[in-house]
A and B are shown apart, each in its own frame.
Chain A
C-alpha cells in the first residue's frame, strides 16, 4: 500500500514561519507535490519537487530529500489567508498516473 504521513494540525502566528512535513512510503516515486485547500474550496496546486533540494515560489518553498523519503512545505511571513489545509501528494511514476494524497495538515494562523 501507499503511506503518506503529515501532521494533522499546525498552529502558527501571523508573520511567522511554519514548516509542514511529509514522509512517504510508496511503491514508486517520481515527485512530490503540495496542494492548498481552503474550507469549501478546491485544492490548488502549490509546488512540485522531482529532485532533491529546495524550490522557492514567493513566500512558499518546498523541499525534497529522496534518500530520506521526506519533504516539507515552508510558509514564510504567514498571513491570515494562509489558514487552510495543505496536502502532500506523491507522483508514483513518469506517466500521468494518479497522485497519491496524504490526509492533509490543517494550518491555523492566529494573530
Chain B
C-alpha cells in the first residue's frame, strides 16, 4: 500500500481481556517495528522484525506481549490479560534501507478500563 496501515485506530477493552493490533506495512519494506507512546512521552521500542530473521523482542515489557509477522508482511501485536498501564498509542513503522527514516502508521489508541 501507499502507507503503513494500522487497525483498529481506537480500541477500548476491559482489564484482563486480550487484544490484537494489526499493522500492514509498506509493500516491499523488509523491516517492521512496533513502538508504544504514552501520553506526552517519547516512543518506547517494543519489537522489531527484519526479513526472515528472528525478531528482536528485547523491548517487550512483559510476557503478556507477543507479536508475529506473517509472510514477511502483515504483523499482529497481541497483548494478553490487559492491564491499565497498557493504555497507550501503539505505533507501527516500516523501512527499507533505514538511514534513520521510518514510515509510521497512525497508530492504535488502546484504552484499558
Which chain B residue shows the least CB distance to A2? B45
Q: Using a Cβ–Cβ cut-off of 8 Å, how many residues does chain B contribute to the interface with A?
A: 27
Q: Does A98 reach chain B (CB closer than 8 Å)?
A: yes
B110 at the interface (CB under 8 A from A): no
Residue positions of A touching B, CB distance < 8 A:
4, 31-33, 41-45, 48, 50, 87, 89, 91, 95-104
- Using Cβ atoms and an 8 Å threshold, which residues of chain B touch A48? 99-101
Within B66-94, the residues touching A (CB, 8 Å) are: 91, 93
Instruction: Specify which chain A residues have a CB less than 8 angstroms from the CB of B4 in the assembled complex.
Output: 42
Contact between B43 and A43, CB atoms less than 8 A apart = yes
Are A103 and B100 in contact, with the CB atoms below 8 A? Answer: no
Q: Which residues of B contact A91 (CB under 8 A)?
A: 98, 100
* B31 part of interface (Cβ distance < 8 Å): yes
B1 at the interface (CB under 8 A from A): no
Of all chain B residues, which has the CB nearest A4? B42
Question: Could you tell me if B98 and A42 are in contact, using CB atoms closer than 8 angstroms?
Answer: no
Q: Is the CB of B31 within 8 A of A43?
A: no
Select which of A42, A98, A102 is within 8 A of B56 by beta carbon. Answer: A98
Apart from the given pairs A44-B104, A98-B45, A100-B45, 14 other A-B contacts in the complex at a CB distance below 8 Å? A41-B106, A42-B105, A45-B102, A45-B103, A87-B43, A96-B98, A97-B56, A98-B59, A99-B100, A99-B102, A101-B44, A101-B45, A102-B42, A103-B42
